[in-house]
Structure 1
Amino acid sequence: MSAFLRELLSNSGHFLIFNVLSEISLFGWRSYLTSQSHYLITIALCAQAWYLSRPKANRFWGNFIGPTIYTLTDLPLDGLEFFQEPNHLILWIFCLAIATLQGLRCHWTPGLKNWIVPLESFTRSGMLISLYVILKIKAEHLPLSGAQILDIFSTAHHQFFLESTIAIGLLVGLQTLQVSQQQEILQETAVALRNLAQWGLGTHVVSTAIADPDALGFQRRDRAIVFLDVRGFTHWCEQTAPDRVAQVLNTYYNGVEPAAAEFDPLRITLTADEVMAIYPTVEQAVNAAQKMRDAAIAVLSSHGLGAGCAIHYGSAIEGLFGSEDVRTYTAIGDVVNTAKRIESATPAGEITISDAVYRQLGDRAIVEPCEAIAAKGKSEPIAVWRLLEWRQSPDRPDSC
């Protein structure tokens, strides 16, 4: 609705507004409200505004919608007298002018926008002047001719009206151009800030912060945690030039991050050669882990490197952590620590899942048992399984 009103008040409705004022000034409210043609033109120009308010509307052809609908509906009522009405000629003349200017500005020569925007406003002031001339001619029953129009503007007060209307039109056009340029800068800045926020916090966090900021507070949730880490990376870095390390690491990120993002994670964190991803469900995590593992192999194998991957599922506290100046969205808890411990014990090229993940997958997973992991800080060894294959159930969704 806001886009429709903006289009109606800034473009499509200008002739309607000026014509309403001139007709009421000449014939009064009663005559205006009882004329069927006035309702037809209102409907026609509203239809035009509706179309032009759409994001991908063609600004050239769209400006002909109102006059075309009005002509086709009113012509059968008025007959050939329709074309003898000066207001109708003004509608079509300025429709063509505005359509051409907007076609140039939006489609054909957008580089000339700085010139076209003020010219559009100047053209609209010409519409107002034209309707004023027709109003005076009708009110005083004067003949419509070029000489008569020149005679009207020979008086001082009419000259003032003409010159001030043109000046105001140009000033409004320049102001519109300035506002348009500022809006473009704000839009570009907003896109850049959103991209930076998504790079730092993730798409889920940014979207949630916009829609419902309170949802980013600390909450306890069951989450699937995926860790992927390059094996032997530190030793390899010692023997490799830093610029080469940076290049390979960035290629690794560019392969693994899209694989993780494909399954709608809540958060992806890149820390040195480690990738951590948080998912709402085990199914999403398993799908992502397989894609991440394959992407890592494709990048690292030519360098004699590999990456181990692990998945654990359990209760975590997630939300925005940090100070007033620096914050990050993540999940903490035993589920995260355990997932990291399992990943540290996973050989390159393999995916290890915890018993909690295995229970979620059930007989859909093909696994082989692994030796329990005696992790530091754990009172009991961690039961784990090597994931060989899994079959996703068609009646279970990938995400919550």
Structure 2
Amino acid sequence: MLKQLFRNSSQDVIEERLNGSRWGAFVSELLSNSGHFLIFNALSEMALMSWTDYLIHTGHYLIVGAMFAQAWYLSRPNPHRFWGNFIGPSIYTLSDLPLEGLEFFAEPNHLILWCFAVMIATSQFIRFHKPSQTATWIIPLESLTRTSMVIALYGALIYKSYPEATGWESFINILRIPHHQFIIQSTMVVGLLLGLQTLQVTSQRKKLQETAGLLRNLAQWGMGNHAVKQAVINPEELGFRRRDRAILFMDIRGFTHWCEETSPDIVAAVLNSYYRTVEPAAAKFQPLRITLTADEIMAIYATPQQAIAAARAMQNAAETLLAPHQLGAGCALHYGSVIEGLFGSDRVRTYTAIGDVVNTAKRLETATPAGEITLSDRIYQCMEEKLEVEPREPIAAKGKTEPIAAWRLK
């Protein structure tokens, strides 16, 4: 469970930078969609009464709660945009209907609420649940629909302000007054312009997110999740630092000789399957870095516990894949102080670790037979001897004055 939470946390940091936070999504939904009727209705009501009278009216708080509930749902990942747009109107209606009875539907603002809820729900369903080609016309149309809601509420305000306009014809005549026509026509033009701007911004944002997502994947493939996350939230961490790390190496035994006797197509297919099988097993335990070089896999872990668990999983995965080809992989681990950070030139860099610990881990792996896992004595001591192991003959490694004490993990 903790492993999954750690992995999700690492991904969430980057996803939040690309797509925004949950709180940001809620505010955006409230201001761009769910809160529109609340805002425009409040302005129309305040035009007829003082803002203090507006604030003491219970029904207005029902609208606030209903729209907040709708915004909360629609800001979640993958909501149903059609039914979600009815949450606010439904909560408000079911809450206020017992208080006002059928007179609830005689209020023009309530009819406007439901009428535009249907139109907005339909347009958002088409926009979010249908092919993306519809965005070129549905976004400006949706913006016009929203400005039409403003005009409808403006008409309701006029209707309430002119009690003498008892008939439809007299009401239309009032709307034909020049300053009313100017406001209505100007509002529609502004709505169309906002819709076109929203279309442009939405299209550009989508392209930027797609490009950023592709660059993120390329960066993670080349540098690893840990380095990419640090580059996003704390670039200083990528500088050279001395850290205690567990280093794991795994290499296929007899691979070079096998390649000489095997078709290149088969070699490529087996090696790629090996990567696809073993790398996910290593990734389950939150490596700071995984490097694939020919038939060798190197992984850097923060703790010996992670490295040992990964080694077991990787060895099991490798054995299943390689056994049919009479191949096997040797794996070894060492733990200690390394220098890690971004190494390279101004044009090409990679995140890795260097030092005697890395070299020693490689020497131990070279001496490990296929199908086995070798632990350095340092890792064995760090685990407080809580492992099922058996001692190996000390390993005489190149560059070492003394043989290396090692253990075979059972």
TM-score (norm 2): 0.87
Q: Deviations over 1:131-169 (max 9, x none)?
A: 122222222324354423432343444333333322222
Deviation at 1:108, TM superposition (A): 5.7
Once the two structures are TM-superposed, the CA of residue 232 in structure 1 deviates from its matched residue by 2.4
- Structure 1 residue 266: deviation in Å? 1.4
Residues of 2 paired with 1:78 and 1:300: CA distance? 75
Distance 1:109 1:253 in 2: 36
Shift of 1:338: 0.7
Contact 2:66–2:87 (Cα < 8 Å) also in 1: yes
The 5-angstrom pairing of residues 185-196 of structure 1 reads 185-196=207-218
Q: Which residue of 1 aligns with 2:337?
A: 315
**Equivalents in 1 of 2:166, 2:211: separation in Å?**
53
> What is the one-letter code of the residue matched to 2:169?
A
Residue aligned with 1:374, SS = coil
Letter in 2 for 1:306: G
Distance 1:228 1:9 in 2: 53
**SS of match in other structure, 2:388:** strand
State the percentage of identical aligned residues: 63
Q: 2:342 touches 2:349 (CA, 8 Å); kept in 1?
A: yes
Q: 1:331 to 1:124 in 2, by over 3 A?
A: same
Is 2:193 the counterpart of 1:152? no
Deviation at 1:264, TM superposition (A): 1.6
1:206 to 228, 232, 250: 228
Deviation at 1:95, TM superposition (A): 1.5
Matches within 5 A, 1:286-325: 286-325=308-347
Structure 1 stretch displaced more, 19-28 or 259-268: 19-28
Q: Larger C-alpha radius of gyration, 1 or 2? A: 1
Deviations 1:186-225 (A, max 9, x none): 2222221111111111112222322322222222222221
Secondary structure of 2:399's partner? coil
Please give the alpha-carbon distance, in whole angstroms, between the structure 1 residues aligned to 2:39 and 2:262.
Answer: 73
Contact 1:104 1:110 in 2 (8 A): no
User: Separation in 1 of the partners of 2:67 and 2:183?
Assistant: 27
Give the stretch that moved more between structures: 35-44 or 115-124.
35-44
2: CA distance, partners of 1:113 / 1:165 = 22
Shift of 1:30: 4.2
For residue 278 of structure 1, report the CA deviation from its aligned partner: 1.3
Check the 8 A contact 1:101/1:120 in 2, yes or no.
yes
Query: Where do 1:136-151 residues align within 5 Å?
Result: 136-143=158-165, 145-151=167-173
User: Which of residues 29, 32, 36 is equivalent to 1:14?
Assistant: 36
Q: For 2:315 and 2:101, locate their aligned partners in 1 and report how far apart those are by CA, in whole Å.
A: 75
Equivalent pair of 2:247/2:333 in contact (CA under 8 Å):
yes
Residue 183 of structure 2 corresponds to which residue in structure 1?
161
Cα gap change, 1:167 to 1:353, in 2 (>3 Å): same
Could you tell me how far 1:71 is from its partner in structure 2? 2.5
Contact 1:114–1:177 under 8 Å retained in 2: yes
Aligned length: 388
Could you tell me which of 101, 115, 131 is aligned with 1:93? 115
Deviation at 1:179, TM superposition (A): 1.6
Tell whether 2:156 aligns with 1:134.
yes
Alignment match of 1:116 (pick from 138, 142, 149)? 138
Match of 2:260 among 233, 238, 245: 238
How far the C-alpha of 1:334 sits from its partner, in A, is 0.8
| Corresponding residue to 1:357 among 379, 382, 391 | 379
CA offset digits 1:275-296 (Å, max 9, x no partner): 1111222222222222222322
What is the TM-score normalised by the length of structure 1? 0.89
- Is 1:376 the counterpart of 2:398? The answer is yes
Give unpaired runs (5+ residues) of structure 1. Answer: 390-400
1:271 maps to 2:293? yes
Q: Which moved more, 1:104-113 or 1:10-19?
A: 104-113
User: Could you list the per-position Cα deviations for residues 94-139 of structure 1 after superposition, in whole angstroms to 9, with x for gaps in the alignment?
Assistant: 1122122223333366653333222211111211111122222222
Q: 2:81 aligns with which of 59, 63, 82?
A: 59
| Closer/same/farther in 2, CA of residues 371 and 73 from structure 1, 3 Å limit | closer
Of 105, 111, 124, 1:102 maps to 124
CA change 1:300–1:106 in 2 (3 A) is same
Find runs of 4+ consecutive structure 1 residues off by over 6 angstroms.
Answer: none
Q: 1:339 aligns with which of 355, 361, 384?
A: 361
How far, CA to CA, are the matches of 2:344 and 2:48 in structure 1? 68
Shift, 1:42, TM fit: 2.6
- Find the residue that maps to 2:394 and give its secondary structure: coil
User: Which is worse superposed, 375-384 or 145-154?
Assistant: 145-154
- 2:8 is aligned to none
Structure 2 contact 112–153 (Cα < 8 Å) conserved: yes
- Helix, strand or coil: the match of 2:37? helix
Gaps of 5+ in 2: 1-22
| Contact 2:165–2:171 (8 Å) recurs in 1 | no
Rounded Cα–Cα distance in structure 2 between residues aligned with 1:234 and 1:130 = 77
**Alignment partner of 2:347: what SS?**
coil
* Pair 355,5 (structure 1): closer, same or farther in 2 beyond 3 Å: closer
Superposition RMSD on alpha carbons, in Å?
2.3
> What amino acid maps onto 1:159 in structure 2?
Q
Deviation at 1:363, TM superposition (A): 4.2
Taking a change above 3 Å as real, the CA distance of residues 354 and 45 of structure 1, as seen in their structure-2 partners, is: closer
Query: Are residues 355 and 30 of structure 1, via their aligned partners in 2, closer, same or farther at CA, if it must alter by over 3 Å?
Result: closer
SS of corresponding position for 1:365: coil
Structure 1, 174-183 or 71-80: larger mean CA deviation: 71-80
Q: d(CA) in 2 for partners of 1:85 and 1:293?
A: 72
